[in-house]
Structure formats: structure tokens, C-alpha cells
Homo-oligomer: A and B are copies of this chain.
Amino acid sequence: MAGFAEATAVTRVGEGRYSVLLDEAFGFAEALNGGYLMAVVGRAAVDASPHEHPVSTATSFLRVAKPGPAEVHVEQRKTGRTAATSRVSLVQGGEPVVDALVVTGTLDAAGEPDWTGEAPAPALPPIDACCTFDSGKADRGFADQVDMRFDPSTMGWLDGQPSGRPEIRAWFRFREAHEPDAYALALAVDALPPVALNMGARGWSPTVELTWHMRAVPAPGWLAIHGGGRLVTGGWFDEEVEVWDSAGRLVAQSRQIARMGRPARR
């Protein structure tokens, strides 16, 4: 295991072309983590841009990415003084695995917000009142990389008692000494178990599309992740995530649309 920075490193191999070695450490049984793939995509987009941060990342998940070599293709579409926009694809075995539209900009790490809405309610319980969650699978991968502490009131699905509300909340940090940055936020917005697990979903709920926005440069320390949803219908559900940093700032927002998970075939 190489650490998050190394696992998401991209190497420029040509105009708008990057190579990457996808690390199984950021996988589950079913697939590499979508947030990990968005982090890789973001690193390539920022490398190809005059700006420093992935302000907006809209992502289509097309196919399951596998550990091993892949390429990232970055096509500049508009480069402006405040923002630059690119089309980015993660390609493996000659097929697109992830498509993204990435807007880069440069956020001021010392900037103070002009206005912030209310902090999400309910707040997360203190870290030592939260619970851990280990899938118990041999390929627990992701859980070896990140230390997540869950609000017990949102984890009833684990014991066959889903809350009936599409909500999951958790504290998040890396197990290694890697403080939050833009790419950690990409990971954080897709780090929760699907909120639909509290609505009776079972197994894997594949994300179809996820858009996330980086709103501020995160402070060191734990991130608080608040996941919710608005509608479950026709096999589709939405999941909204807000990530707040240790300084009490809203640092990332996301919405994804996903398919309700069904029990795995045996």
C-alpha cells in the first residue's frame, strides 16, 4: 500500500495524457471506490490546468475500474482567468471507465466565507460516541485506508434494522498521516455506505452519476460527513453529502444518483 498521495499520482505521458496505477487498496469486493477514481481524475485535471483546485467535478461511472494501469485523458475546453473547464476520461483496456467534466479554479486557503447556511442537523455525536464498521471481508481495502466513525443512529441497517431514513453520518480521516486536501474531499463525498441501506437496499448500490463541488480548502483534522437523500423511486435514489472541516467550514458538497442495491447473487 502506497499511501493516498502515491495511489492517486498521475504521470504526464503526453499532451493531455496521464498514466496512473490504480491501487487495490482503495477497493471493495465489487469495484474500486468511486471517490478514489474522482481523486485520480481531479489530479490530472489540475495538472493540465493553470488553476489549483477541482472546484466542480461531474462524473459518470460507466464501467467497473480494476486495480492496475490506466490512463487519464484531459481535453481542455475553455481556459479562463477564474476557471478552466476540461473533459476528462479514465480509460482502461481501451474503454472509458469514468467520464468527467471538471472545472478548476483557485480557492483562497485563507478566505473567509461571506455567508454559510446552517450547519447540518442533527450534528454528529462526539467521535468516541461513534462506532466503527468493518465489513469483515478479506478485501476490506478501503477500511484499511480511512478511519471512519459512524453516528450509531444511522447504522441500524447493519443489524437488520434500517432507520427508514436515507441518512448516514460519519467522521472521516486517513489512517496515514495525510491531512485533508482537495483529493481527500473527492474521496470523502463518496466514502459513506449508500444511504439507501437505511431504506432496505442490500449489497452494492452502483453510483451512476456524482457531481461534487469543492468549496474551501479544508483545515487539518477530522472531516464530518453528512449524507442524506430526498427520494427513492423506480429503483433510483439520490444521495447528498456535505463535508465540513475541523474549523467548522462547509468544504465540499455532492449529489449522486444511484441504483438501489439488490442482494448479491450466490
Contact = CB atoms under 8 A, between A and B. Distances in A.
A164 B216 CA distance: 21
A164 to B, nearest CB: 8
A43 interface: no
Interface in A59-81: 59-60, 62-63, 77-78
A60 B79 CA distance: 13
B215 A101 contact: no
A208 B117 contact: no
Contact of A213 (B83, B166, B228, B238): B238
A28 to B, nearest CB: 21
B117 A229 contact: yes
Interface stretch (A1-9, A33-41, A253-261): A253-261
A57 to B, nearest CB: 9
Secondary structure dominating the interface of A:
strand
B238 A58 contact: no
Interface in A104-161: 105, 107-108, 111-117
A209 B103 contact: yes
Contacts of A103: 60, 208-209, 257
Interface in A227-248: 228-236, 238, 242
Interface in A87-109: 87, 96, 99-101, 103, 105, 107-108
A99 B101 contact: yes
B113 A231 contact: yes
B209 A257 contact: no
A55 B236 contact: yes
A60 B77 contact: yes
A202 to B, nearest CB: 14
A87 B87 contact: yes
Interface string A211-227: 10101100000000000
Interface of A: 55-56, 58-60, 62-63, 77-78, 82-83, 85, 87, 96, 99-101, 103, 105, 107-108, 111-117, 164, 166, 199, 208-209, 211, 213, 215-216, 228-236, 238, 242, 250, 253, 255, 257, 259
Nearest first, the 9 closest Cβ-Cβ pairs linking A and B are: A58-B58, A113-B233, A211-B211, A56-B209, A115-B232, A62-B78, A117-B230, A114-B232, A60-B101
